[in-house]
Chains A and B, each alone.
Chain A
Amino acid sequence: MQRIGDAPGIRRLLISAAVILTAIFLLLPLVAIFSQALSKGVGIFWTNVSDAYTLHAIFLTLGVAVLTIPICLVFGVALAWLVTRFAFPGRRLLQTMIDIPFAVSPVVAGLIYLLLYGRNGWVGGWLDTHDIQLMFAWPGILMVTVFVTCPFIARELIPLMQAQGSREEEAAVTLGAGGFTTFRRITLPNIRWALLYGVILTNARAVGEFGAVSVVSGAIRGKTNTLPLNVQQLYQDYNTVGAFSSAALLALIALFTLAAKAGLEWHASRREAIA
């Protein structure tokens, strides 16, 4: 007996299509990045990477990511908790609003922040009189990065927490556990894999964000230039190898993130097999 949709011909066709498309659209560009970056030899690649401006860009990019993650973590957990554990008017609206950063183009997001917090903006004017500069400085970059990445963790948690329900937490409370104990010993262990997964996605996006950051950063070399912006700048300066060296760094971070994600998934599936 043959199962529906399992004809050998179709299977071969689909598998080869998947392999070929993956190779053309994903693998080839990745190989190209590294071959371009290393086209003049490892020495040149190293000089490019250890360039003072590039080093600063690396530092800024990773710094912003490191600050973004805890903010998104607190925001995501709080939001998921609110949406899945409480019934209140506007809950559905809130759940839809979480997706705004996904729906809006990052460039538009950047522009909105510029309009609000820029020197001539609504809030920016007041901030300016108090000598606080957000736009064209690292706090601005952090703000738009948080905007762009804030749905990831909440998105991961909400379906999971909805499926798990609040029975275990109720059980913990009937046994005398306080709010924080319940969160630490019951809620957190149940969501930790989804949470880590959300953090990985957040990190990937925070490091790679270009559109929103390019609007608010001003791309001042050695000051507000992030790694993605650096790639573009170097490329426009006809420094192809330099651009690709920075791009290779970004790609490396991405690969590392993907490996972490795959490792987590492997771990989670193994855990399920045991349980």
Chain B
Amino acid sequence: MSIRLDNIGKHFGATRALEPVNLNIHEGELVGLLGPSGSGKTTLLRIIAGLENPDRTGTRTPARILFGQRDVTHVHVRDRRIGFVFQHYALFRHMSVFDNVAFGLTVMPRRSRPSRGEIRARVFRLLEMVKLEHLAHRYPAQLSGGQQQRVSLARALAVEPDVLLLDEPFGALDAKVRQELRRWLRHLHEELNFTSVFVTHDQEEALELSDRVVVMSDGRIEQIDTPETLYRTPKNRFVFEFLGDVNHLEGQVHNGVLTCGDARLAVDLPDGTEELLLRPHEVRLAEQPSADCHLPVTVTSVSPIGAEVRVELEADWLAKPWLATVRHADFERLNLHRGERLFAHTRQWHRFADETAPAQTAPRAA
């Protein structure tokens, strides 16, 4: 079932939570709403669900929500045929796992309600799918966070919704469980092929899980793209900064050289104040400066966990410390340790003329 939003905005009292936005989600797509807290992503999700009403707009461009061909703008939540997974699961604490999952089936009108045996069979099929059939008689408080999350997913899927909506589904779980559940949700999505929208503030999660990501800030949609496009060609500075760690270099450009304290970098830019942005992997460390690049830094912390070594750098000319990622081989070769003085080199940098302008990228031979 595709989802189409036209002119959906929301005010809470005098505060604007969401500027009127338009959004098209294709059938079978898995879309992530990504943004910092207060960016309006949860509000948008709750409006799709029908848990909040969009603002009324003028008659010319009315607020509209379409599920496929069905206009659900004025359809009550209970009739929208959605599955909603809440941030903290919102399991019914006085009911067993079985009763939680069965709830949606037992409240169906008598005419369409499946028989007792059928409900039982369906619930166990779902519990099998989330690998919890052995815990059917436990209560939510007796389950771990990851298990509770799976129950809430099974509960939402029991009513065979047209769209599945998830509000920060993995927010409260530890890193390992989160990783596992993400992979599992991705599989489930491919298997059952429902349309789903999920909210997250975790860039990694959004990029890993989604077919397309909607980046939001301050009640606006900043960019809608596939994870790859989003990362490679961010539309503006906000998107660039939000999608990963960023190092800043601000200084005066004069005759093709950017200067900031005792740091110098040759750039092909007109004279004036400039701010350059670099990803951690675009910083290279060496023992010597080069003719084009003189960026003296001191290593303040080294974290060798993961595929790459993360190194924090400080210098007098830096307002905020830089973060650089170094390959383990280079890490050993340079014999990096805290307090060491080195020179940073830039593989590439990005520049945004203003908040809304697209990126300008300049690769440099390091």
Contacts and interface: CB of A to CB of B under 8 A. Distances in A.
B90 A167 contact: yes
A175 B159 contact: yes
B86 A171 contact: yes
Contact of B86 (A167, A178, A186): A167
Contacts of B159: 175-176
Given A167-B86, A171-B90, A177 B107 contact: yes
Contact of B107 (A176, A189, A275): A176
A168 B152 CA distance: 11
A173 interface: yes
Nearest to A274: B139
Interface residues of B, number: 27
A269 B156 CA distance: 32
Nearest to A190: B94
B110 to A, nearest CB: 12
Contacts of B171: none
A139 B309 CA distance: 81
Nearest to B140: A275
Q: Which of A171, A181, A275 has the most CB of B within 10 A?
A: A171
A171 B51 CA distance: 10
Interface in B54-107: 77-79, 82-84, 86, 88, 90-94, 103-104, 107
Contact of A175 (B51, B93, B107): B107
B155 interface: yes
Interface string B152-169: 100110110000000000
Given A167-B90, A275-B141, A176 B108 contact: yes
A209 B90 CA distance: 42
A134 B238 CA distance: 70
Contact of A177 (B103, B141, B152): B103
A224 to B, nearest CB: 44
A144 to B, nearest CB: 37
Contacts of B156: 174-175
Contacts of B92: 168, 171-172, 186
Contacts of A189: 94
Contacts of B158: 175
A275 B159 CA distance: 27
A170 interface: yes
B49 interface: yes
Nearest to B46: A170
Contacts of B152: 171
B24 interface: no
B356 interface: no
Contacts of B91: 168, 171
B142 interface: yes
Interface string A50-88: 000000000000000000000000000000000000000
A233 to B, nearest CB: 48
Contacts of A173: 77-78
A174 B108 contact: no
Contacts of A177: 78, 103-104, 107
Interface in A109-163: none
A167 B88 contact: yes
Contacts of B78: 173-178
Contact of A170 (B83, B86, B93, B142): B86
Sorted nearest first, the 3 A-B pairs with minimum C-beta distance are A175-B104, A167-B90, A174-B84
Interface of A: 167-168, 170-178, 181, 185-186, 189-190, 275
Given A171-B91, A173-B77, A177-B103, 4 more contacts: A167-B86, A168-B93, A177-B107, A275-B142
Interface of B: 49, 51, 77-79, 82-84, 86, 88, 90-94, 103-104, 107-108, 139, 141-142, 152, 155-156, 158-159
6 contacts: A168-B91, A172-B92, A174-B78, A176-B79, A176-B159, A275-B142
